[in-house]
Amino acid sequence: MQVRVYVTLKPGVLDPAGKAVQGGLQSLGYDEVQGVRIGRFFELEVEDRPDMKERVEAMCRTLLANTVIEKFRIELPERAG
Protein backbone atom coordinates (compact mmCIF):
# COMPACT_ATOMS: atom_id res chain seq x y z
CA MET A 1 0.00 0.00 0.00
CA GLN A 2 1.00 3.57 -0.41
CA VAL A 3 2.24 5.75 2.42
CA ARG A 4 2.77 9.44 1.84
CA VAL A 5 5.39 11.46 3.66
CA TYR A 6 5.67 15.25 3.65
CA VAL A 7 8.98 16.73 4.77
CA THR A 8 8.99 20.48 5.35
CA LEU A 9 11.33 23.03 6.86
CA LYS A 10 10.86 24.00 10.47
CA PRO A 11 9.88 27.62 11.11
CA GLY A 12 12.87 29.90 11.32
CA VAL A 13 15.02 27.92 8.89
CA LEU A 14 15.96 30.08 5.94
CA ASP A 15 14.70 28.86 2.57
CA PRO A 16 16.43 30.93 -0.13
CA ALA A 17 15.06 28.69 -2.88
CA GLY A 18 11.53 29.27 -1.57
CA LYS A 19 12.21 32.99 -1.54
CA ALA A 20 13.33 32.79 -5.19
CA VAL A 21 10.13 30.98 -6.17
CA GLN A 22 8.12 33.62 -4.31
CA GLY A 23 9.94 36.30 -6.31
CA GLY A 24 9.15 34.41 -9.52
CA LEU A 25 5.45 34.19 -8.70
CA GLN A 26 5.34 37.87 -7.82
CA SER A 27 7.06 38.80 -11.08
CA LEU A 28 4.27 36.87 -12.85
CA GLY A 29 1.81 39.21 -11.18
CA TYR A 30 0.76 37.02 -8.27
CA ASP A 31 1.29 39.74 -5.74
CA GLU A 32 -0.90 37.95 -3.21
CA VAL A 33 1.84 35.37 -2.56
CA GLN A 34 3.16 36.23 0.90
CA GLY A 35 5.64 33.43 1.27
CA VAL A 36 6.86 30.14 -0.24
CA ARG A 37 8.50 27.25 1.61
CA ILE A 38 9.75 24.30 -0.40
CA GLY A 39 9.55 20.79 1.02
CA ARG A 40 9.70 17.19 -0.20
CA PHE A 41 6.96 14.70 -0.86
CA PHE A 42 7.56 10.93 -0.81
CA GLU A 43 5.30 8.14 -2.02
CA LEU A 44 6.38 4.90 -0.38
CA GLU A 45 5.05 1.55 -1.55
CA VAL A 46 5.16 -0.60 1.57
CA GLU A 47 3.83 -3.93 2.69
CA ASP A 48 1.14 -3.60 5.28
CA ARG A 49 2.16 -4.67 8.76
CA PRO A 50 0.88 -3.89 12.24
CA ASP A 51 3.86 -1.71 13.14
CA MET A 52 3.91 0.14 9.82
CA LYS A 53 3.36 3.57 11.36
CA GLU A 54 6.22 3.21 13.83
CA ARG A 55 8.51 1.94 11.08
CA VAL A 56 7.70 4.80 8.72
CA GLU A 57 8.29 7.26 11.56
CA ALA A 58 11.69 5.67 12.12
CA MET A 59 12.42 5.97 8.38
CA CYS A 60 11.63 9.67 8.59
CA ARG A 61 13.81 10.28 11.62
CA THR A 62 16.81 8.36 10.32
CA LEU A 63 16.82 9.23 6.62
CA LEU A 64 13.90 10.98 4.95
CA ALA A 65 14.09 14.09 7.14
CA ASN A 66 16.95 15.83 8.91
CA THR A 67 15.19 16.73 12.12
CA VAL A 68 17.70 19.49 12.85
CA ILE A 69 15.92 21.58 10.21
CA GLU A 70 12.93 19.58 8.99
CA LYS A 71 9.66 18.19 10.31
CA PHE A 72 7.64 15.41 8.74
CA ARG A 73 4.02 14.36 8.42
CA ILE A 74 2.91 10.85 7.51
CA GLU A 75 -0.32 9.96 5.71
CA LEU A 76 -1.32 6.33 6.08
CA PRO A 77 -3.98 4.82 3.84
CA GLU A 78 -7.31 4.06 5.51
CA ARG A 79 -7.51 0.37 6.18
CA ALA A 80 -10.40 -1.34 4.41
CA GLY A 81 -13.01 -3.07 6.54
Partner 1 sequence: MSRVAVLTFPGSNCDADLRHAVALAGMEPVAVWHKERDLGKVDAVLLPGGFSYGDYLRCGAIARFSPIMEAVRAFAGAGGPVLGICNGFQILTECGLLPGVLLRNRGLKFLCQDVELTVEGRATPFTRGVGGPLRLPIAHMEGSWFADAETLARVEGEGQVIFRYCQNPNGALNDVAGVSNAAGNVVGLMPHPERYVEAAVGGTDGLGVFLSLAGRPAGGAA
Chain contacts with partner 1 (rule: CB under 8 A): 12-14, 16-17, 20, 63-64, 66, 68-69
- 20 neighbors 43 (Cβ within 8 angstroms): no
Nearest CB to partner 1, comparing residues 11 and 81:
11
CB of 50 to partner 1, least distance (A): 26
Q: What is the distance between the alpha carbons of residues 47 and 7, in angstroms, rounded to a whole number?
A: 21
Residue 30: alpha-carbon gap to chain centroid = 24
Nearer to partner 1, 16 or 81 (CB): 16
The CB density around residue 54, as the number of other CB atoms within 10 Å, is 10
Q: How far is the CB of 63 from partner 1 (least distance, A)?
A: 7
